[in-house]
Structure 1
Amino acid sequence: MHCWKTINVKKQYGFDRLFLLSSLIVMIVFSFAYVLLGIFNDSAKSDEYFLLFVLSFLCVYPLHKFFHYLAIFGHTNKLKFIMYKQFGFLPIFSLRISEPIKKNRFVFVLMSPFLFINLSLLSAAILVPAFSHYFTILLAYHCGMCLIDLIYVKNLMKSPKTALIEETATGFEILIAPIS
């Protein structure tokens, strides 16, 4: 196996640009989702359960990481769990896969939180219109959080179908078998 390409989105884009793009996605998703949900159901909004909303907001990030973990559950012997602090106080959790895995599986691992959490939040916003503003905020926040995963998926889609993906300290390496 040899490395076809190395992808490091954080190095390629930089923290400031990623934060700006993520913030724009949050605002755009909230604006469109809130307006569209308001068109279909214009019932009165309730500010009840605000503390539950704040707790839910704080739980989105660990839930996002949990869905990554669930998607790779069969390979738990290949996982390394790392926690570090951003800005000196904000805990950041990282799951690292120590051995190469198939590209399709890796794409599923990256996409699973985006698909399952966002579908759940959209469903909840439709089913409980009085709290659709809460669910829409959570949806927008989670979409912004998924930006890095989506950028990685975009880059992986350009790689060969039979590629293996290995996660290293410098980013993701796309490995392919040498052509004989």
Structure 2
Amino acid sequence: MHCWKTINVQKQYGHDRIFLLSTIIVISVFSVFYIVLNIFKEAPLSDHLFPLFLMVFFMIYPAHKLLHFMPLFSYRKSLRFSIEKQYSFLPVLSMRIHEPILKSRYVFALLVPFILLNLVLVIGAIMFPSFRHYFSILLAYHCGLCLIDLLYVKHLIHSPKTALIEETDKGFEILVPSSNQ
């Protein structure tokens, strides 16, 4: 095996640029989704369940991380979890796998939270139009969280199909068999 490419989205794009792109995505998704919902659903808005909304808002991030873990369950012995602090107060959950994994499995693990949580939020907004503003905020927030995952998928899509992905301190290494040079 040899390293075909190393990807480090944080280093490549920079933290500030990723934060700005994520903010733009959050604002755009909220604006478009909320407007589209208001065009098709004309129910009065309700703030009845604001405490539940706050609880769900804070649970989106851990649920997102859990959904990354589910497709990698068979690799659980090679997974290491840690909590790092960003800005000295914001806990960030980190999950690293310490053995190479098939590209297709890794891409699937990156996309599962985006697909499942967003689908649940869209269906919730359609089924409960009185709370469409809550679902719009949650969807926008989750799409902003998914930016880094989608950037990694963008880079991985162009790698060889037989590649293996390995996480290192430098980022993600795309490994290919030596015979595929």
TM-score bracket for the superposition, by shorter chain length = over 0.9
Provide the residue aligned with 2:127 in structure 1.
127
The range that moved more, 142-151 or 83-92, is: 83-92
Q: How does 1:30-179 map to 2 (within 5 A)?
A: 30-179=30-179
Shift of 1:179: 2.2
Task: Tell me which stretches of 4 or more aligned residues in structure 1 moved more than 2 Å.
Answer: none
C-alpha distance in structure 1 between counterparts of 2:177 and 2:156, whole Å: 16
Deviation at 1:27, TM superposition (A): 0.5
Alpha-carbon separation, structure 1, partners of 2:135 and 2:173: 36
Bigger mean CA deviation after superposition, 45-54 or 11-20: 45-54
Output the CA distance in 1 between the equivalents of 2:170 and 2:110.
18
Q: Which stretches in structure 1 are left out of the alignment for 5+ residues?
A: none
* TM-score, structure 1 as length reference: 0.98
Letter of the 2:49 counterpart = Y
* SS of equivalent residue, structure 2 residue 179: coil
- Secondary structure, counterpart of 1:96 in structure 2: strand
Query: What is the CA-CA distance between 1:62 and the residue it aligns to?
Result: 0.5
- Provide the C-alpha distance between the structure 2 equivalents of 1:8 and 1:115, rounded to a whole number of angstroms: 23
Q: CA deviation at 1:21?
A: 0.1
What is the percent sequence identity of the aligned residues?
Answer: 57
Give me the whole-angstrom Cα distance separating, in 1, the residues matched to 2:159 and 2:11.
20
In the aligned structure 1, how far is the partner of 2:114 from the partner of 2:124? Answer: 15
C-alpha distance in 2 between matches for 1:71 and 1:131: 31
Q: Show CA shifts across 1:124-168 (max 9, x none).
A: 000000001101100000000000000000000000000000011
**Aligned CA-pair RMSD:** 0.8
Q: Distance in 2 between matches of 1:169 and 1:81?
A: 15
- Cα deviations by residue, 1:5-57 (Å, 9 ceiling, x for unpaired): 00000000111000000000000000110011111111111011111111111
